[in-house]
Amino acid sequence: MRILVVGGGGREHTLVWKLKQSPLVDKIYCAPGNAGIAEDAECVPISVEDLQGLADFAEKQKIDLTVVGPEDPLARGIVDLFQEKGLKIFGPNKQAAQLEGSKVFAKELMVKYNIPTAEYRTFTSPEEAEQYIKKIGTPVVIKAEGLAAGKGVIICEEEEEALLAVKKIMIDRAFGDAGNRLIVEEFMRGEEASILAFTDGESILAMVSSQDHKPVYDGDRGPNTGGMGAYAPAPLVTPEIAQYVEEKILIPAVQGLKADGHPYSGVIYAGLMFTEKGPKVLEFNCRFGDPEAQVVIPLLKSDLIPILQAVVEGRLSEVKAQWHEGSAVCVVMASGGYPGPYQKGVVIHGLEKQKGKENFVVFHAGTKDQKGQIVTNGGRVLGVTGWAENLPEALKKVYEAVESIEFDGAHYRKDIGQKALRFFE
C-alpha cells in the first residue's frame, strides 16, 4: 500500500512511525512533514491548506489511503474533495467535522441527544456576552466558536478576566473568524481525561484513555497551549467509566450525527471533565489528539492499517484491537515564549543519543533540517515519549531523556502525569 499522511506535527510523526511498522505498507509520503518524519517517510512540500494540491498528488502517486492529522483541512472539506475523485481517505467529511469546527454545532448536538455537558449560552454580540457574565458571575469558561489551534478556550476565575476574554475573541479578533460567535459556559470542577474512538458512522472502537496537560506551566497554571504533554491510560477512567462514556457519550454522538444527516467516519475524540455528577463533555474533536496520539498509538499492539481500512470501508464491526499493558508518557519540549511569539531556527542538541532506546521515541513536531542540523521550526518542538510497565517507570525514562536534549529557550512541564501517581502508591 501507498500511504499519504497529511500534516507536519508530533501527531503526524506518531502516525507515520506506527504505519511504517505495518507489513501492508510499501511507501509513506507525508505533506509537509518535518525533520523527524523525513527519517521514516518521504516528505513532500505541500501545505495542509492546499487541498487541491494534496488531492492531485494523491491521484498522481496512486495513493491507496490518505490519513489526515490536523483538524483544519477536515473542517475545510478535504475528505469531500478526495471522495469526489474516488480516493480513499480517513477522516470525517466537512459536515461531520463541524463537531470540532463549530462549538455551537457540538453543543446543540449534545443537548439534542442528552449527552452530558456544561450549561452554556451562545453570543454574537460582545455587549450581550458581557452583560450575561456580569449577571451570572464567575468562574466561567469563554470559548471562541471556531478552530483556534487549541487556544480558543479561556478559563476565567474573575469577572475582569472574563470581560477581557470576550474583548480578545470578539473585538480584538485574536482568533480571526473563529470568534464570530462566542460561548459562555458553566465552569466545571474536576479532573480531565480524553477518550478517542475509531468510528465508521455505525460502530465505534474505543482506544485507551489519556490525559492531556493544556496549560503552559506546572500546576496547570498559565495560558492554554496545544498541549504540553500527556500520559495513557488515565487511571481515572475505570472500565465502568469507559463503558459509560461509550454508551452515553460516544455512541449517542455518532448516532445523532447520522440521524441529523451528517454520518461521521474517522476518529471521534471526547474531552471529558470528571465532575461530582460523573463525566461531562468539555469538547469533541474530529481527529487524533496531539499530544494524546503520541501516548495512545504506541500502546496499540494491533496493526493500524486494517483498522483504518475498516473505518473507511464501513466495516469497523469486523475489527478488534489489542493494546499493550503498561503506561506511556509524552513530555513536550517547547520553544522559548510559546504559546506566545517564539524564535525559529534554534539548533537542537542531544537527539542522536536518544536513538535505539527500547520502548522510546522522540516524536518531532516543530523541527526542520537546516544544512544537516536539526533546528526548531514551531512552538511545540519535540514530544519525548516512552512506555513501560507502569507510569512511574515511564515518567523516569522520559524525563531522563528530556534532560539530555537541549536547545536555547527550551521549556517543558515537569509535572506531567503527577495527578495519576496516587493510583500507583
Residues 175-190 have a mean pLDDT of 91
Kindly report the backbone phi and psi dihedral angles of residue 202, in degrees, each rounded to the nearest multiple of 5, phi listed first: -120, -60
Query: Which of 170, 171, 166, 145 shows the shortest CA–CA distance to 156?
Result: 166
Residues 6 or more apart whose Cβ sits within 8 Å of residue 237: 193, 195, 209, 245
Q: Where are the alpha helices (DSSP H) in 139-201?
A: 159-166
Q: Which cell numbers in the block locate residue 28?
A: 509513506
Query: Which of 325, 307, 305, 329 shows the shortest CA–CA distance to 316?
Result: 307
CATH superfamily name and code, 327-424 = Phosphoribosylglycinamide synthetase, C-terminal domain (3.90.600.10)
Q: Strand 89-90 relative to strand 65-68: parallel, antiparallel, unpaired?
A: parallel
Separation CA 62–CA 81 (nearest Å): 16
| Predicted local confidence at residue 178, as pLDDT | 87
Separation CA 116–CA 410 (nearest Å): 39
| Predicted local confidence at residue 163, as pLDDT | 94
Residues 246-255 have a mean pLDDT of 98
| Predicted local confidence at residue 424, as pLDDT | 84
Residue 297 near residue 5 (C-beta atoms within 8 A): no
Orientation of helix 10-20 relative to helix 304-312, angle to 10°:
110
* CATH number of the structural domain 119-186: 3.30.1490.20
* CA-CA-CA-CA dihedral for 98, 101, 105, 109, to nearest 10: 60
| Predicted local confidence at residue 13, as pLDDT | 98
Query: Which of 268, 186, 227 shows the shortest CA–CA distance to 382?
Result: 227
* CATH number of the structural domain 2-93: 3.40.50.20
| Predicted local confidence at residue 209, as pLDDT | 98
Residues 6 or more apart whose Cβ sits within 8 Å of residue 94: 74, 75, 76, 77, 79, 80
| Predicted local confidence at residue 120, as pLDDT | 92
- pLDDT tens digit string along 23-82? 999 999 999 999 999 999 999 999 999 999 999 999 999 999 999 999 999 999 999 999
Kindly report the backbone phi and psi dihedral angles of residue 121, in degrees, each rounded to the nearest multiple of 5, phi listed first: -135, 145
Q: What share of the chain is helix, strand, coil (3-state, %, to 5)?
A: 35, 30, 40
Residue 317 CB coordination number (10 Å):
12
Query: Which of 284, 312, 296 shows the shortest CA–CA distance to 92?
Result: 312
- Torsion-angle region of residue 160: left (phi > 0), alpha (psi -120 to 50) or beta? alpha
Separation CA 212–CA 274 (nearest Å): 14
Query: Which of 34, 3, 8, 7 shows the shortest CA–CA distance to 21?
Result: 3
Q: Which CATH architecture has domain 191-318?
A: 2-Layer Sandwich (3.30)
Separation CA 149–CA 56 (nearest Å): 26
Separation CA 297–CA 177 (nearest Å): 33
The β-bridge partners of 90 are 67
What is this structure's pTM? 0.93
CA-based R_g, the chain, Å: 20
Residue 113 near residue 256 (C-beta atoms within 8 A): yes
Residues 127-155 have a mean pLDDT of 89
For the cut 90, the answer to whether the pLDDT of residue 337 exceeds it is: yes
Q: Find how far residue 274's CA is from the centre of its chain.
A: 19
Q: In what order do the strands lie in the sheet with 204-206?
A: 204-206, 191-199, 266-275, 278-285
| Predicted local confidence at residue 151, as pLDDT | 73
- Torsion-angle region of residue 278: left (phi > 0), alpha (psi -120 to 50) or beta? left
- Residue 259's H or E segment, with its range, is helix 251-259
Boundaries of every domain in the chain: 2-93, 119-186, 191-318, 327-424
Q: Is 99 helix (H, G, I), strand (E, B) or coil?
A: helix
| Predicted local confidence at residue 52, as pLDDT | 98
As a whole-number percent, the residues of the chain with pLDDT over 70 amount to 100
